[in-house]
Amino acid sequence: MTTPYPVPLATTEPLGSVTRVLALAEGDGEDAFTGTSLPQLAGRIYGGQVVAQGLLAAAATLPEAADPGAPVRLPHSVHAYFMRGGLPDSPVGFEVDRMHDGRSFSQRRTTASQDGAPILTMVSSFQVTQEGADVQAEAPDVPGPDELVSALEIFRTIDHPVARFLGRTAAFDLRHVEGNIFLRPGAEVSGRQHLWVRSRGKVPASASQTVHRALLTYVCDQVMLEPALRSQGLSWRSKGMSLATLDHAQWFHRDVDAGDWLLFVQDSPSSQGGRSLARTEVFSSSGTLVSTIAQEGMIRMPTATASGTGRWAVRPGDDPA
């Protein structure tokens, strides 16, 4: 398959489904691309997918895309705003604005739209690999993934359409150190958590570092707001909860291997006015800090004067609670 940015297709499922939707097609006009979406029970596009697609659309317009001899510029930061939910059954258009190409850095603005209405806007920055100081935070000492229960094992024990759907379609294995909050709140009310993440299936050896970084962007949206839920004593099954990602900021510090176990060290410093902030440091299995992520989301629960929609993950009428 020829795509504007080369995304090799994984041969195993469900990872192959993710690499297929990340492989965009040419759109109408210069620096325009189109993408499809994975099915979602919520009836709206998964946000991590759109940000990852937008990142790859931007990468397709970098100097090395036109000049194979130009030095490779890797994504080092992404700042995205979600404006409205998208429909998984409709194509997504991506338009890229070439904001700047300097000697070391390039910046791109990407807008994702459906039916002429923007659903996401983002700015991404890319850098030529350069020498400089190499200092990082230390990874915490926590139990390894082999000592923890996989989310996939949990999904397979739950007789519910959401659990069955996730057990079939989840492209990444998640293993929580403090225990998961899929069915009930954590044992302690705390705004901190640790979990291990790794792709289910082998990432093709030909996948570029940009594709690995896009895969990390794809998966992190699944769990970014979990420490905020923990801080409020909530779980994914809290009745009437409304949840949506508002914005996403991510920095890439070093090379990422999406097929390696990655440790997410997460906290939520603030929740107020229906908005919650969450932060994540991502470490490789060897303790290398590869990415830092921040995300603000809307988390609303029913109150004396307002009722929640309960539309965080499934269609109305199929609430898992």
Q: Which residues are annotated as catalytic? A: 221, 245, 295
Residues 199/14, Cβ–Cβ less than 8 Å:
no
Spell out the residues 6+ positions from residue 34 whose beta carbon is closer than 8 angstroms to its own: 24, 25, 26, 27, 91, 92, 93, 94
CA 124, 129, 130, 132 dihedral sign is positive
Tokens standing for 283? 């470490």
Q: Residues 268, 271, 275, 277: what is their CA dihedral angle, to the nearest 10 degrees?
A: -20
297, 276 in Cβ contact below 8 A?
A: yes
Round to whole Å and give the CA distance between 206 and 6.
Answer: 9
Can you spell out the DSSP letters for 288-305? -EEEEEEEEEEEE---SS
Alpha helices in 156-275 (DSSP H): 161-169, 209-220, 226-231
Phi, psi angle pair for 305, to nearest 5°: -115, -5
CB 217 within 8 A of CB 250: yes
Peptide bond into 75 cis (omega under 30): no
List CB contacts of 114: < 8 A, sequence separation 6 or more. Answer: 86, 87, 90, 91, 92, 93
What is the length of the chain? 321
